[in-house]
Amino acid sequence: MSTENTDDIERLISAESGRLRTPAAPVEAVIGRARTVRARRRAAGTTVLAVAAAGAVA
């Protein structure tokens, strides 16, 4: 591989890694929020099922 190609590749890698690093925090925040919402819905669904089961038993 020539030096020119190596320089081009290094430039591309540094440009891509800079681009990828910048939006990481907002993306992680969105993923965290989605997980929280999903967990709340799952917990709410479990509560509804428990109440329905208790009603069916009583």
User: What does pTM read for this prediction?
Assistant: 0.35
The pLDDT, as a whole number, for residue 18 is: 60
pLDDT for 27: 72
Q: Which domain does 27 fall in, by range? A: 3-57
Position 12 scores a pLDDT of: 76
* Amino acid identity, position 29: A
pLDDT of residue 1: 52
Of 12, 39, 3, 4, which Cα lies nearest the Cα of 47? 39
B/e letters for 15-47, b = 16+ CB within 10 Å, e = fewer, are eeeeeeeeeeeeeeeeeeeeeeeeeeeeeeeee
Give me the number of domains the chain comprises.
1
Q: What is the pLDDT of residues 18-48, one digit of tens each?
A: 655 555 567 777 778 888 888 888 888 777 7
